[in-house]
């Protein structure tokens, strides 16, 4: 079993370390500006400057309120053409809707991250209990499952346009949990080495 444990330890540490480096790069090093920023539509600037979902909702309400007066007195064909050609009134509404959907998706991802990372931690604790009380192989299944959950749900993010508040919260949480996962893995390995020196395990 020791060769399997060593292989899994190396692989898991490799995955967690490389994705932690990616988180650090995206959070603090990755360039976020562009020479084209000065040509962005004002709605994109408003979206980027927004701090939370409430601000986006207020911007969307204003954009949505401008649509009905614009459509009054116009034929369906004119309205359809305006939508297809991204007239400003529709462009603002569409981009704000997309930004809101992106922020809501990131909020859901944050909740999922905490839930599944917690499930991974619970699996590790149960695996340790099974390792000590029931069977080493059953315990290894719990440990592998737990660390795999942690590695998968702390996987790297890619920055995109739009509001950055929720993205930054998600990125920071992933970075913290990646480091916590590595610390837990290293602590368990150190404990395993100490036990192996005192009482050889199968």
Q: How confident is the model at residue 108 (pLDDT cuts 50, 70, 90)?
A: very high
pLDDT over 70, % of the chain: 96
Tokens of 15: 């995955």
Residue 60 has pLDDT above 70, yes or no: yes
Residue 113 has pLDDT above 90, yes or no: yes
pLDDT for residue 165: 82
Provide φ and ψ at 121, rounded to 5°: -65, -45
Q: How confident is the model at residue 196 (pLDDT cuts 50, 70, 90)?
A: confident
Domains of the chain, residue spans: 2-29+41-198
Q: How confident is the model at residue 121 (pLDDT cuts 50, 70, 90)?
A: very high
60-91 in b/e form (b: 16+ CB < 10 A) is beebeeebeeebeeeeeeeeeebbeeeeebbb
Average pLDDT, the chain: 88
Residue 200 has pLDDT above 60, yes or no: no
DSSP state of 26: I
pLDDT for residue 202: 45
């Amino acid at each position: 079993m020791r060769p399997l444990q060593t292989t899994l330890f190396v692989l898991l540490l490799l995955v967690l370390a490389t994705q932690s480096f990616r988180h650090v790069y995206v959070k603090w090093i990755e360039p976020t500006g562009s020479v084209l920023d000065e040509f962005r539509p004002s709605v994109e600037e408003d979206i980027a400057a927004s701090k939370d979902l409430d601000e986006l909702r207020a911007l969307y309400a204003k954009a949505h309120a401008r649509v009905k007066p614009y459509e009054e007195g116009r034929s369906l064909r004119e309205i359809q053409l305006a939508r297809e050609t991204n007239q400003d009134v529709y462009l603002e509404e569409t981009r704000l809707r997309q930004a809101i959907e992106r922020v809501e998706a990131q909020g859901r991802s944050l909740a999922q991250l905490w839930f599944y990372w917690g499930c991974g931690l619970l699996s590790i604790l149960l695996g340790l209990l099974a390792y000590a009380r029931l069977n080493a192989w059953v315990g290894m299944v719990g440990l592998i499952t737990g660390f795999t959950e942690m590695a998968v749900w702390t996987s790297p993010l890619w920055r995109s346009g739009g509001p950055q508040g929720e993205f930054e919260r998600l990125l920071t949480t992933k970075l913290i949990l990646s480091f916590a996962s590595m610390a837990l893995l290293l602590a368990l390995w150190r404990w395993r080495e100490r036990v192996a020196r005192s009482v050889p395990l199968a």
